Amino acid sequence: MKISIQINEGPYQHQASDTAYQFAKAAIEKGHEIFRVFFYHDGVNNASRFTLPPQDDRNIVNQWAELGIKNADGEPELVVCIAAALRRGMLDESEASKNGIDGNNIHPAFRISGLGQLIEAGIQSDRLVVFGD
């Protein structure tokens, strides 16, 4: 089955991203397809490649990256809402250069895109599950 996920909260503050990750991992292990994970609101903070938890804690960003959720063209399907990301200082290379900012922090396993991607995930997937506060 094709399953998509929406994550509304950032890492470490709420359990939402942890639960969503365990769910996604279990779904993949059972042979289902994770069509897309859409990070919205503070959820965009799950995509920061500068995340540095202490050694004895999980690295939530890397965990997501290691699931390797991609489409047939090899593009990441860990999708960060562009409007929510820019508001919170989460930028990829292209948005940084477009806005004249000297750095970018989106992990390469994620990509930035618009809200249409969330709707499309709802249309294309058999199920959409929301994790939030």
Partner 1 sequence: MLHTVNKSSFERNSLKSCLNIIDDTSVILLIEDGVISAAKNTNAPMIADLAAQGRVYALQGDVEARGISSKLADNIKLVDYAGFVDLVVEHGTAVSWV
Partner 2 sequence: MTTKKFMYLNRRSSFGTVYAIESLEVVLIAAAFEQDVSLAFIDDGVYQIVEGQNADGIGMKNFSKTFHALGDYEINKLYVSAESLEQRGLSSNDLMPLVYEDEDDDWAEKPSVKVVSNAQLSKIMSEQDVCLSF
Binding site for partner 1 (CB under 8 A): 1, 3, 8, 15-16, 19, 22-23, 25-27, 29-30, 32, 127-133
Our answer to whether residue 30 is catalytic in this structure is no
Instruction: Report the nearest approach of partner 1 to the CB of residue 103 (Å).
Output: 32
Instruction: Report the nearest approach of partner 2 to the CB of residue 113 (Å).
Output: 12
Residue 118 binding target from partner 2, partner 1, none, CB below 5 to 8 Å by type: partner 2
Active-site residue identified among 81, 82, 112, 121: 81
Q: Strands, E, within 1-133: which ranges? A: 2-7, 33-39, 78-81, 110-113, 127-131
Among 133, 89, 84, 87, which Cα is nearest to 113's?
A: 84
Catalytic residues, which ones? 81
